[in-house]
Structure 1
Amino acid sequence: MFIVSLPFAVLRGGYWAIAAMVGIAYICCYTGKILVDCLYEEDAATGQKIRVRDSYVSIARECFGAKWGARAVNIAQIIELLMTCILYVVVCGDLMIGTFPEGSIDSRSWMMLIGIFLVPLGFLKSLHHVSVLSFWCTMSHLVINAIILGYCLLEIGDWGWAKVKWSIDMENFPISLGVIVFSYTSQIFLPTLEGNLIDRSTFNRMLNWSHVAAALFKSLFGYVCFLTFQNDTQQVITNNLHSPGFKGLVNFFLVMKAMLSYPLPFYAACDLLEKAFFKGRPETLFPSIWALDGELKVWGLAFKVGVVVFTILLAISIPHFAILMGFIGSFTGTMLSFIWPCYFHLKLKRPTLDWGTVAYDYFVIFLGCLFGIIGVYDSGSALIKAFEIGLPF
């Protein structure tokens, strides 16, 4: 969903923003690999790698201790995932208002209507079902890209090649940098994804090609769209489409994409909550939400539907949620995607690492701290300003 804001990042940062789209892709690909590598230990007898951990939390438990380490990472993951779910609902409401600006339905009502279609996600039982929905999310994404890039190519004669600058708007670019960073973060899902692969030896290759494709497309999309709209580029690129019908078509597919993007963080959040509270006594506080035949118990279904309803209620009730998401996400996102993977890698694999890898891990930790501090400061300032001048929710 961040793709529609990338041309605005080019407006703020010029060629440096394009370089960031490529560089951050490389870093996130690297931290994804080392995080999954921390799931394995080498067998002394055979020399083969054995998967001795099954999740991000189990790695944290090993590095930070059983009591506080697992809780810290669990809380950070759940906050990040639930806030992502909420953000998708907020985006849907904003897009529908953009499509029908003169309508009698406000954004909160649109969010509630969208929520009706999200409630059935409580029946999701496996990652396979999530992957099917994610496939159609990709299809809607391709349609959006084809429409917007097609429009831009039709305007190629008026492209502003000289408008892309080498300077950086230091006051506003850090916010755009945060958008770029969080458009690549996927580390929360990677241990589960790698564990569900039929052939786990393909994981690194999959991660390489997915990040290469993402970096190429995002930099190309941001560059081409900026060349088309130049200094008039809006924060959400669909706002640059002047035809109401054309804009409505693109926004419709964006809403579909947001709704189809919702299941992955929702499923991951429910999985974490289930492992924390519903594995069964005495291991957890509550019994399992699954019956012996593999079906959800009635109260288990109520729990999952309750998570959906909870995200919808927060979306319609929290003021300035997008800014608040940036504030909290600047901390949890950089910790989960930059700092902790490198710290865990150094903690668990330090004796086997060469000095170049150790130096690079420390460099990524430094970047994570820098991005986090900048993001918290900018988002915090924007949140204070929003309340001071009384911006609408």
Structure 2
Amino acid sequence: MELDDYNEKTKLVSTFDETSNGITCDTTKQKSAASSQDPTVHFSQTNGTFFINFDGINSGRFGDFGEGSAFQAACNICNCIFGVGILSIPYAFKEGGLVAAIVIFCLACIVLVYTSKLIARCLYDDVESPDGTIKKVRTRSSYADIAQACWGEHGRRFIVIIQIIYCMAVATLYLELAGAMLVETFPKFGLSKLWWTVVTTVLVLPSIFLRTLIKISISSFIAILAISSMFISVIVYSAMEINSSTWQFEYTPNVGIRAFTVSCGVLLFNFEASFAIAGVEETMKDRSKFDSMINFSYGFCTILLLAYSITPYIAFGNDVKEFIVYNMPAGPVFIAVSLLLVLKAIFTYPLFLFFIIDNFDLLRVNALPPCYGPTPKDPPPVWATIFRAVIVLSCLFFAVIVPHFAKFMGFIGSLVSPWMSFICPCIFYIKLKFQYMSNIQIITCVTIAVIAFLFGIFMTVASTTELLITFATSFP
């Protein structure tokens, strides 16, 4: 069966050889300015899918194809979901209202599980073999490839740019977070927040040498252990502070609409993992477990985050601080929670640095050579290592000049998350899979996209206003 001409650049004709239970492919590719290398074909015996790497410059991006386990994939996804705004989630619950925040949290989890699966399905096309059976062929290797298939080169650049903005913002805020925690934890050292941020930057600098998601999954696992320990510490301490005889639950807290929308931006910011879906799915040895992995990752993170957010709200009510760590008593508890957060920041940084570099590579700027070696085992060009260091130093620069952590986080979440996580996945799936969709699927995707678009505009306006007011009061 002949596939459609993807982006007027590629054509694939696949013939299945049943006697060898394999595939023989005649592949032709029109030469383009972006790449002049031939595609390579890979077959997964585990789940019977074929995937084609059309772009030679990306052959070393994620590591060897299909070497990672579902557990390693879940580590990277959970590390993304446990985002940089974890300290401010209890505060967002207070600002947005407990009931409303719980509803938003649960709905976001359900919808994000759905849209994550849409992104993964858009990486594949169905090919009919001579005997009439349908084989799934992985014809795209990134979120940007999906955008290009739908909107051309402009779509690719749009997705890549907003992913760079998001990942750079997260990487920057991790450095700021670590610096803020260390200056509070070790005041006797006499170092300012600036110098502690510099120390953190030095500690994360070796991450420029981690080049595959499989290796980074080890770092993600350590980060998850650290942040889970921090959550448990906060939950236990908050539970001990609850005075059940005086606490009363309020179903209708007095919450302003602007505070609610900013809080929604904070919550969405922490659930963002769409930028990692394609890369994580590509590293899985058994891709048939992808749906289960996504279900587990979002379910696990949602349950833990809800417990971590609700317990402090019950314990401290309107006294919940912008950083929940400031509700902890001075001494061992405060130091332990702060250091666990610093560990989380340090061991999460390699993941976001990886995707920053990956998206710069996907920009396909002709003036710049590839950011990766020909294979995962080959070192990247010298310039690429220097470029990685420049990215880290750029994040340090922004970390120094970006004040008002939670407000800025809400602004970025409101601006970027609706497009990356809700609108684009639905639009792309309709564009690529419309002929296979049921009426219910079409209505669901359209509804999600429209609501996310309108809600995104509202959140962006509200969070921008909040940010401008904050800056105006800080700098009279």
Tell me the TM-score normalised to structure 2 length: 0.76
Among 418, 434, 437, the residue aligned to 1:353: 437
Cα offset, 1:146, TM superposition: 2.0
Q: Superposition pairs for residues 165-180 of structure 1, below 5 Å? A: 165-167=251-253, 169=255, 170-180=257-267
Counterpart CA distance in 2 for 1:52 and 1:172 is: 43
- Where does residue 284 of structure 2 map in the other structure? 197
- 1:289/1:300 contact within 8 Å kept: yes
Higher-RCO chain (CA-CA 8 Å, sequence separation at least 6) = 1
- 2:262/2:411 contact within 8 Å kept: no
Question: What amino acid sits opposite 2:461 in the alignment?
Answer: Y
- Where does residue 453 of structure 2 map in the other structure? 369
Among 198, 214, 219, the residue aligned to 1:128: 214
Q: Report Cα offsets for 1:144-191 as digits up to 9, x if no partner.
A: 122112212333454765234334612312111111112111000001
- Where does residue 216 of structure 1 map in the other structure? 303
- Where does residue 369 of structure 2 map in the other structure? 287
Among 170, 174, 178, the residue aligned to 1:88: 174
Counterpart CA distance in 2 for 1:257 and 1:20 is: 25
Counterpart CA distance in 2 for 1:36 and 1:168 is: 41
Counterpart CA distance in 2 for 1:171 and 1:299 is: 45
Q: Report Cα offsets for 1:228-262 as digits up to 9, x if no partner.
A: 11221112211111223321221111111111121
Cα offset, 1:350, TM superposition: 1.4
What is the aligned length? Answer: 386
- Where does residue 313 of structure 1 map in the other structure? 397
Task: Give the % identical residues.
Answer: 28
Question: What amino acid sits opposite 1:9 in the alignment?
Answer: A
- Where does residue 61 of structure 2 map in the other structure? none
Q: Report Cα offsets for 1:210-230 as digits up to 9, x if no partner.
A: 112222222222222211112
Tell me whether 1:247 sits opposite 2:330 in the alignment.
no
Larger C-alpha radius of gyration, 1 or 2? 2
Cα offset, 1:359, TM superposition: 1.2
- Where does residue 248 of structure 2 map in the other structure? 162
Counterpart CA distance in 2 for 1:273 and 1:164 is: 48
Tell me whether 1:8 sits opposite 2:95 in the alignment.
no
- Secondary structure of 2:274's counterpart equals coil
Tell me: CA distance 1:370–1:167, structure 2 relative to 1, closer, same or farther (3 Å). Answer: farther
- Where does residue 268 of structure 2 map in the other structure? 181
Q: Report Cα offsets for 1:314-361 as digits up to 9, x if no partner.
A: 211345565444334422221111110011011111121111111111
Q: Report Cα offsets for 1:253-301 as digits up to 9, x if no partner.
A: 11111111211111011112134348xxxxx333345566602333221
In terms of fraction of residues, the more helix-rich structure is 1
- Secondary structure of 1:41's counterpart equals strand
Among 53, 61, 71, the residue aligned to 2:148: 61
Counterpart CA distance in 1 for 2:104 and 2:262 is: 13
Counterpart CA distance in 2 for 1:123 and 1:43 is: 39
Cα offset, 1:205, TM superposition: 0.7
Tell me whether 1:334 sits opposite 2:421 in the alignment.
no
Gapped regions of structure 2 (runs ≥ 5):
1-83
- Secondary structure of 1:188's counterpart equals helix
Counterpart CA distance in 2 for 1:5 and 1:38 is: 34
Question: What amino acid sits opposite 1:191 in the alignment?
Answer: A
Counterpart CA distance in 2 for 1:86 and 1:368 is: 26
Counterpart CA distance in 1 for 2:407 and 2:275 is: 22
- 2:166/2:416 contact within 8 Å kept: yes
Tell me the TM-score normalised to structure 1 length: 0.91
- 1:16/1:168 contact within 8 Å kept: no
- Where does residue 469 of structure 2 map in the other structure? 385
Tell me whether 1:145 sits opposite 2:228 in the alignment.
no
In terms of fraction of residues, the more strand-rich structure is 2
